[in-house]
Chains A and B, each alone.
Chain A
Amino acid sequence: MQFRGRKHVVAVGGVVAAAVALAACSSSSPSSSSASGTINASGSSFQNTFQQAAISAFKSVDSGITVNYASVGSGTGRSNLAAGTVLMAGSDSPIPSSDLSTFKGKTVLYFPVVIGPISLAYNLPGIATLKLSPTVIAKIFQGQITTWNDPAITALNPGVTLPSTAITTAVRSDSSGTTQNFTLFLQNAAPSVWTLGSSSTIKWPSTARAGAQNGGVASIVKSTSGAIGYVDYTDAVASGLKSAEVQNKAGDFVAPTAAAASTDAADATIASNLTFEAAWASSNAAAYPVTYQSWDLVYAKQPNANDATILKAYLGYLLGAGQKLLPALYYAPLPSGLDQKAVAQLSQITG
């Protein structure tokens, strides 16, 4: 199974390597090069590509600290943090209230580290741009709109001749934060139409084709004419897939880009513990509404001073120089106001 993005990906890889080198050289944060230790982190697979690049670049900043990030899913990441088997958990959503008791009353700090668009990737040969509204997307994924030349879709795309091909929806077979936030967007944007709820696992209609991880969904879309699926933007680009333009709150159709995602997140209501919902958050005309976020969770009170020091060093890097890695990876950096609040929160980590 060859992804046509081979040359593209090599180019991306080259850009990343260059960006990594650049970030390392230009790092001006006072690196605590005397600190050493190992940070074991696990959680969200959405963050995985970013974490891998950051870990690799961080070695040049502070070679004494080894960071390991395992992409096991936000749920397991959170439960690992609760059990104390990792120092840091990556999570695409806040801790559900039903799980709070597992943290035994200890304060958990949320550090937003990355924003990213979810792409509606489609496979329609010859159709260069596709405009979709949240209501139409909801109906497509609920199996209520079944062909591409349905009036609801053609109404949004004047001047484009859509084929009568049947729509094949591609969804995740494994539970995922991407699913959770995509359905959160649908719940927020089309509440009267969307009935399947918002969760990391959804009971999709039986006509939906399931693939494992973003890569699995991307490969279904790529190999099936008339398919549409929801994929993290980074993976859609890596697979060479086209993304649809989605209508935002202002009524404009916006394509997924890093800038559009940041614009959307900038208008989200930030709670005092830095949690927020980026999906369908902004009324800005340039905002891409299907955007989501990921946090790194750590305990405020660390078991020892060294753990506090190395966590502050690595999180500080992620919030500072690490943000420069994001555009090349097709993520969006944090809006600057949010970034500042997160950096200020670093001081609450004590050991």
Chain B
Amino acid sequence: MSTTVKTGPAIPAGPVRGLSLRRPLGDRAFALLALAAGLVVLVILVLIAVTMTQQSTSWFSSEGWSGVFSTDWDPAHGKLGAMAFVYGTVITSIIAIAISFPVSVGVALLLTEVVPRRVAQPIVYVIDLLAVVPSVVWGLWGFLILVPWLQTIYAHIASAVNGIWILGNLFGFLNGNYVSGASFFTCGLILAIMITPIVTSLSREVIATVPATDKEGAYALGATRWEMIRGSVWPHSQTGIVGATLLGLGRAMGETIAAALVIGSSPTITSHLFTPGYSMPSVIANQFGESSGVFRAALIGMGVLLFLLTIIVNLVARAVVERNARRMRGTA
């Protein structure tokens, strides 16, 4: 005789909580906490933009758009045109990038391609040390030591190139025999020293994403190290390195204290790099103390312009780096 044993559903051994679709309270609370932390960033940026624009409206309204970007800066007579400072910010940042780019890429390549692990460690320490020196110390050293020393060097260079076609315009005398240690070029130099560690570490990360197969393939074909770098590393990482440089540019544009002490504080627009100039963060740092009324609104307004400028630079840098990353993922 066959008996069919009806088997019911499995009876669990102990109490069971049904798998509910709702997440436990603690989990949801944590997710909210994380979201709130992320939103703090958004809130801060929005607040910065709003409050600073609010404080500077009297400048925009009294000068109008043409006045804001005019080259005439004479607070004693109510003229508050910011062009000279925008020019100075752009020029010193370009000088900073021009000096820092080859140095950073060189050291990044040194660390990734040339030196063995053991030697890389102390080099990384040097980069970290450079990054950690406070900006006010760079300013102090720049102002008290570098500026007088560079003054004599500039005078020699200027007298050597004066009158030569492009070089004379860049490095020659402006009026008479006048060059100054505190000038566009010195400011660019100090900025370069300060942004080199960032650009180096970011470039290092970018170069590290180059697939080893490409590099080994180049070596297998008999390439020298330089040929391998030019053929395998550079095409993969060029956009990433450019993006890293642009991020360094963003930092250079905003650096305040060191720049304020060595730029020379003279709002002039000129191609002669060995003459004193001015930049947006420097003028804010120098002049805020005594300012009031529309003058103060103008300085805060320049802070707003600076903010916008660095946002644009960071946007571009991010887009460039993203494009590189996307290409890398595509070819992986």
Residues of A within 8 A of B (CB): 1, 72-76, 78-79, 96, 98-99, 166, 173-177, 180, 183, 196-204, 206-210, 212, 223
Contacts and interface: CB of A to CB of B under 8 A. Distances in A.
A196 B295 CA distance: 17
Contacts of A180: 290
Interface in B2-45: none
Contacts of A76: 288-291
A209 B180 contact: yes
Interface in B58-109: 73-77
B289 A206 contact: no
Contacts of A209: 180, 264, 276
Q: What are the nearest 9 A-B pairs in CB distance?
A: A73-B289, A173-B265, A175-B290, A199-B76, A197-B76, A75-B290, A210-B265, A200-B290, A203-B74
Given A174-B286, A208-B266, A75 B76 contact: no
Given A197-B76, A199-B76, A201-B287, A210 B292 contact: no
Nearest to A79: B292
Interface string B265-302: 11110000001100000000011111111111000000
B176 A99 contact: no
A197 B75 CA distance: 10
A269 B182 CA distance: 42
A209 B147 CA distance: 13
B148 interface: yes
Nearest to B73: A203
28 contacts: A1-B145, A72-B289, A73-B289, A74-B289, A75-B290, A75-B291, A98-B294, A174-B290, A175-B286, A175-B291, A176-B290, A177-B290, A196-B76, A197-B76, A197-B77, A199-B75, A201-B287, A201-B290, A201-B295, A203-B73, A203-B75, A203-B76, A206-B174, A206-B268, A209-B180, A210-B182, A210-B264, A212-B143
B247 to A, nearest CB: 30
A44 to B, nearest CB: 9
Nearest to A76: B289
A326 B174 CA distance: 44
B175 interface: yes
Nearest to B177: A166
Contacts, number: 96
Contacts of A202: 76
A285 B285 CA distance: 42
Given A1-B148, A198-B76, A201-B75, A96 B266 contact: no
Contact of A210 (B145, B276, B290, B293): B276
Contacts of B291: 75-76, 175, 200-201
Contacts of B261: 212
Interface in B173-211: 174-178, 180, 182
Contact of A166 (B176, B268, B289): B176
Nearest to A78: B292
Counting chain B CB atoms within 10 Å of each CB, which of A72, A175, A176, A208 scores highest?
Answer: A175
B144 interface: yes
Given A166-B176, A197-B77, A207-B175, A212 B265 contact: yes
B86 to A, nearest CB: 17
A6 to B, nearest CB: 15
Contacts of A212: 143, 260-261, 265, 286
